[in-house]
Structure 1
Amino acid sequence: MRIVVAHNRYREAQPSGENTIVDSEIAQLTAAGVEVLPFIRSSDEIPSMSKAAKALLPISPIWAPRAQHDLSRLLTEHRPDVLHLHNPYPLISPWVVRTAHRHGVPVVQTVHNYRQVCSSGIYFRDGVICQDCKGRALGVPAIKHRCYRDSAVQSALMATTLAVHRGTWRSVDRYIALTSAIADHLREYGIPDERVVVKPNSVPDPGRPVPLGDGFLYMARLSPEKGVDLLLDAWRRHPVGALGTLRIAGDGELRPLVEAAAAERPDVVYLGQLDRAGVRAAVEASAVVIVAAMWHDVLPTVIIEALSSGRPVLGTALGGIPYLLGADAPHEPAGTGPAEIASTVAGGGGGPAMPAGIGLGEAGWVVAPEPAALAAALPVARAGAPGLTVAARARYERIFHPDVVTKQLIDIYAGLARTPNHV
């Protein structure tokens, strides 16, 4: 089987879980005997482009003529079975779907965000969840609020791109939804059930888990939607040292906030940006991993990292987080405010009775994205971590292990490769 994997890499200066997942998936497919033809562009290429190429950048999200030319040549030469698209922006463009179909090649897309509808891709603006562009022919609110790269002009271009390519997205042969929450997002967008498959990402197996460490680990981009300020607010509601150590890893605009907290309290340690070895060491040193997302986070890779090492997770009840933890809470709460979300997770999903507002899943806990709820859950998670380590590792092996996930992906390709080609 021969597969083209198309992806516009995010800038290396801004660490991207999506880049990591694409690299890992290519390696896993290759190891499984699939011939992978990478069709990769990188946003890091932009500064070194010629003046003529830079002049075309404003239209590249809509069309990207150079990418279409190069892809056409690759498809003609290698005649692949399937094109697998990840991120098309800004140098590849959704137009590659049309280019592939013109060559009779079916298209799979893994949906890593909400950019079929939302110009920023995360349904988050000014510190709160925002879905103002849902159901609109043109995302005027995104333009008004400068949602894409804080630019009215670039936001207008992205909103126009989403409007132009509505038909393109609806022509994709198979969508890979990373969680059931994304599957619902695609259905709301108008994609038929039979073209949506739920298949999560995976991370390499680190081997048999070592005994639990102590305290908590938060590892994410230090930006408002990732909730590090929420976590620090919750942490300060406990006496110094009462919960062990809070380790924080990552970088971003809220780094000064984290550095100030580490200077203020000896039970807060800032680790900076970590490499793969550092990530594993930080996970193993901790007992619980925290995902304090303030947005409908699609699939935080750190959760799978935690489960692979037998570490349970305390997360907010948003996006794909409850799905990842096997929590019996709605994956897309009807209300987006803390009160509505708290009511959905009260009582948890079975097992020992939980304090009100804390949901118990197979591999962790979910709470409303508010400081009081997270503060109440911290001692519960610390006390309960030893009882969930085996379940956390078992969930990884059953659902997120590379052997399981790669087989699912190959089955998706095989099902499409047997269908009649587009004309």
Structure 2
Amino acid sequence: MRVVVAHNRYREAQPSGENTIVDAEIGQLEAAGVEVLPFLRSSDEIPAMSAVSKALLPISPIWAPKAQHDLDRLLTEHRPDVLHLHNPYPLLSPWVVRTAHRRGVPVVQTVHNYRQVCSSGLYFRDGVICQDCRGRALGVPAIVHRCYRNSRAQSALMATTLAVHRPTWRSVDQFIALTSAVADHLRDYGIPDERIVVKPNAVPDPGTPAPLGDGFLYLARLTPEKGLGLLLEAWRRHPVGALGPLRIAGDGELRPQVEAAAAERPDVLYLGQLDRAGVRAALTASAVVLATSTWHDVLPTVIIEALAAGRPVLGTALGGIPYLVGADTPREPAGTGPAEVASAPAGGSDRPAMPEGIKAGDAGWVVAPEPALLAAALPVARAGAAALAASARARYERIFHPDVVTKRLIDIYADVAAVRRP
């Protein structure tokens, strides 16, 4: 099988999990015998562009003529079975879908964010969840609030792009939703069920998990939507040392808040930006991983890394987090009714009932993004980590292991290629 993987890489100065996932997926496909033809552009190319190319940049999200020319030549020469699109902005444009279809090549797209509707892709503005542009022909609120790169002009361009390419997106042959929450987003956008499949990302298998450490690990960009403020407020509701250490890793605009918290309390440790070895060491030292996003986080890779390491996760009940920890679909233990199911843990009645507002899944717990609820869940997670460690690792092996995910992706390609466009 021959597949074109199309992706506009985000700037290297802005660490991107999406770039990492695309690179890993290409490697996994090639290891499985798929011939991959990368069609990649990078936003880092923009400063070195010619004056003419830079002059055309404002229209490139709508139509990028050079990218279409290069892609058309690639498709004509190699005649791939499928084009797999990730991020098209700004140098590829959704127009690659039309270019592929013109050559009879079906298109699969992995949906990494909410940019079919939201100009920023986050459904998040001014510190709170925002869905003001849902259902609108043109995202005027995004223009008014400068949602794209804090620029009214660029926001107007992106809102126009989304309006122009609504028919383009609806012509995609198969959407890959990373979680059940993304599948719901696509249905709300008007995509029929038969063109949506749920397939998460994978992370490499780190091997047999080390014994649990102690305390909690927060590993994320230090930005408002990742819920750092929520976490610190919840943590301060407990006496110093009562929960073991809170390790915080990452970098971003809220770094001063972390440094202040670490100076204020000896049980808050700031680890800075970690490399892969540092992440592995931090996971080994901890018992529970935190994912306290206050936006509809699509698929925090750190959760999958936690499960692979046999660490359960405490997160907020937003976006893909409940799906990742197995708390998106309640299981009804024998002998319980609807009232009990709301707080019953997944996995049966052999586990203790959760306090109100805390929902347990196969691999962790989720709560609403409220300081009091998160504060109440922290000691529950610490006490229950050992009981869920094996279940967390088993969930990784069953759903997020590269062997499982890559086979699922190849099956998706085969199904789409079987009904190749004329």
TM-score (norm 1): 0.95
Superposed, 1:46-125 pairs within 5 Å as 46-125=46-125
Decide whether the 8 Å contact of 2:231 with 2:371 is kept in 1. yes
Give the SS at the match of 2:33: coil
The whole-number CA distance in structure 2 between the counterparts of 1:2 and 1:361 is: 38
Decide whether the 8 Å contact of 1:298 with 1:320 is kept in 2. yes
Deviation for aligned residue 1:91:
0.6
The whole-number CA distance in structure 2 between the counterparts of 1:348 and 1:238 is: 24
Deviation for aligned residue 1:29:
0.3
Number of the residue aligned with 1:412: 412
Decide whether the 8 Å contact of 1:345 with 1:366 is kept in 2. no
Number of the residue aligned with 1:322: 322
The whole-number CA distance in structure 2 between the counterparts of 1:109 and 1:382 is: 39
Deviation for aligned residue 1:46:
1.0
The whole-number CA distance in structure 1 between the counterparts of 2:10 and 2:342 is: 34
Number of the residue aligned with 2:337: none
Number of the residue aligned with 1:198: 198
Deviation for aligned residue 1:420:
3.2
The whole-number CA distance in structure 2 between the counterparts of 1:54 and 1:24 is: 31
The whole-number CA distance in structure 2 between the counterparts of 1:394 and 1:192 is: 32
Percent identical: 82
Number of the residue aligned with 2:335: none
Decide whether the 8 Å contact of 1:329 with 1:359 is kept in 2. no
Decide whether the 8 Å contact of 1:329 with 1:344 is kept in 2. no
Give the SS at the match of 1:56: helix
> Number of residues paired by the alignment?
410
Deviation for aligned residue 1:328:
4.5
RMSD: 1.3
Decide whether the 8 Å contact of 1:245 with 1:267 is kept in 2. yes
| Range with bigger deviation, 136-145 or 343-352 | 343-352
TM-score (norm 2): 0.95
Give the SS at the match of 1:270: strand
Structure 1 gaps of 5+ residues are 331-342
Deviation for aligned residue 1:329:
5.5
The whole-number CA distance in structure 1 between the counterparts of 2:296 and 2:200 is: 16
Number of the residue aligned with 1:11: 11
Number of the residue aligned with 1:312: 312
Number of the residue aligned with 1:372: 372
Give the SS at the match of 2:354: coil
The whole-number CA distance in structure 2 between the counterparts of 1:221 and 1:284 is: 20
The whole-number CA distance in structure 1 between the counterparts of 2:178 and 2:342 is: 22
Decide whether the 8 Å contact of 2:105 with 2:420 is kept in 1. no
Number of the residue aligned with 1:40: 40
Per-residue Cα deviation, 1:177-230 (whole angstroms, up to 9, x for no partner)? 001111111111111111100100000000000100111000111111100111
Deviation for aligned residue 1:421:
2.0
The whole-number CA distance in structure 2 between the counterparts of 1:382 and 1:103 is: 55
Aligned in 2, Cα 1:23/1:286: closer, same or farther, shift over 3 Å? same
Give the SS at the match of 1:284: helix
Aligned in 2, Cα 1:420/1:130: closer, same or farther, shift over 3 Å? same
Aligned in 2, Cα 1:124/1:344: closer, same or farther, shift over 3 Å? farther
Decide whether the 8 Å contact of 1:307 with 1:393 is kept in 2. yes
The whole-number CA distance in structure 1 between the counterparts of 2:50 and 2:373 is: 52
The whole-number CA distance in structure 2 between the counterparts of 1:15 and 1:279 is: 15
Decide whether the 8 Å contact of 1:178 with 1:201 is kept in 2. yes
The whole-number CA distance in structure 2 between the counterparts of 1:367 and 1:348 is: 13
The whole-number CA distance in structure 2 between the counterparts of 1:329 and 1:141 is: 33
The whole-number CA distance in structure 2 between the counterparts of 1:81 and 1:139 is: 35
